[in-house]
Amino acid sequence: MDKEIEKKCEKVIEYRFSDPRKAYNICSEILEHGISNEEAYEVAYARLYMGDTMFSMGEFQKALANMMLAKKVQEKYGYQDLLMKTYNIIAIIYVNQGDDLLGLDYYYKSLKLARECGNKVMMRMVYNNIGALLNNAGDAAGAAEYFRKVYELCQKREQRDSKKIDNKKQYLVNLAVGYLGEKKYKQARKYLDMASMESDGKSQDCCSAAEINRIVDSVRVYVETGNKAAAIKEAENILSLPEKILKM
């Protein structure tokens, strides 16, 4: 991959969420270059993020079509670094369309590759996604188990590198949700309190979204344990959040 294409790949990552249409257009340029120069990795990369950005824009069928093209090239040439991401996004698309079983199958494919490659960041992401799927399906115990795996990886990373983990607040909230689903209120309260002490997240929006989730789940704990006064007091904390965040 030449330097110019590398720069374009960096731009794709920069714009994939903030301006997915722009990211898609850059991917199209990478794809054209990859086809013209018979660079399979560029084709595989471009198709992956064309699918990713199409999904962000709500074009689910086009997203899936691109992801399947990416998958075909990545499997053929063994681009595992891309393939684990492709499997994860395919899973997200299927779950979004209501096919949890097929989505779960692709999550496990992604997780298998992430483990083989020792990619802890990807492992955290997939564990979290599986936990969310199980929680939404009503399997609180299964969800809690996967959320615990996310938290354990966070702890190991912080102990090894002495660095805060991005989105740790949300991971703690998710772990609390798992315990909440099991009616284990003491454990849920513990992790919600830990989440209240976290201010990680690279953007204010990310951190504040996690904080809203924390407050909502904290209110639920108080309500379900009969502490209505504490529930009302906690709910009032939402009003102190920036107006911009409340409109998200």
Instruction: Judge whether 181 and 135 are in contact, CB under 8 Å.
Output: yes
The whole-number pLDDT of residue 85 equals 97
Look at 52-56, 152-156, 172-176 and tell me which has the smallest mean pLDDT. Answer: 152-156
The whole-number pLDDT of residue 69 equals 98
Residue 47 CA from chain centroid, whole number: 20
Residue 248, CA distances (Å) to 46, 199, 203, 213, 220 in order: 30, 19, 14, 13, 21
C-alpha 43/C-alpha 71 separation (Å) is: 11
In words, the CATH class of domain 120-248 is mainly alpha
C-alpha 69/C-alpha 181 separation (Å) is: 38
C-alpha 122/C-alpha 105 separation (Å) is: 16
Of 205 and 83, the structure prediction assigns the larger pLDDT to 83
C-alpha 45/C-alpha 231 separation (Å) is: 48
Chain segment 179-234, per-residue pLDDT in tens: 888 889 999 999 899 888 876 454 444 446 778 888 888 898 999 999 989 888 88
pLDDT exceeds cutoff 70 at 129: yes
Chain segment 92-121, per-residue pLDDT in tens: 999 999 999 999 999 999 999 999 999 999
Chain segment 2-13, per-residue pLDDT in tens: 899 999 999 999
pLDDT exceeds cutoff 90 at 240: no
C-alpha 107/C-alpha 111 separation (Å) is: 6
The whole-number pLDDT of residue 206 equals 45
- Model confidence at 124, pLDDT cuts 50, 70, 90, reads very high
C-alpha 150/C-alpha 212 separation (Å) is: 20
Among 36-50, 160-174, 223-237, the range of highest mean pLDDT: 36-50
Chain segment 55-78, per-residue pLDDT in tens: 999 999 999 999 999 999 999 999
Rg over CA atoms, the chain: 20
Instruction: Judge whether 111 and 130 are in contact, CB under 8 Å.
Output: yes
1-118 shares its CATH topology with 120-248:
yes
DSSP string over 85-109: HHHHHHHHHHHHTT-HHHHHHHHHH
Task: Measure the N-to-C terminal CA separation of the chain; round to a whole number of Å.
Answer: 38
CATH architecture of residue range(s) 1-118: Alpha Horseshoe (1.25)
pLDDT exceeds cutoff 70 at 166: no
DSSP state of 240: G
pLDDT exceeds cutoff 50 at 157: yes
Of all residues in the chain, the percent with pLDDT exceeding 90 is 57
The whole-number pLDDT of residue 197 equals 83
Residue 189, CA distances (Å) to 112, 127, 134 in order: 32, 22, 21
Q: In terms of Cα–Cα distance, which of 247, 237, 243, 190 is closest to 215?
A: 237
Domain boundaries defined on the chain: 1-118, 120-248
C-alpha 150/C-alpha 152 separation (Å) is: 5
- C-alpha neighbours within 13 Å on the C-beta side of residue 2: 7
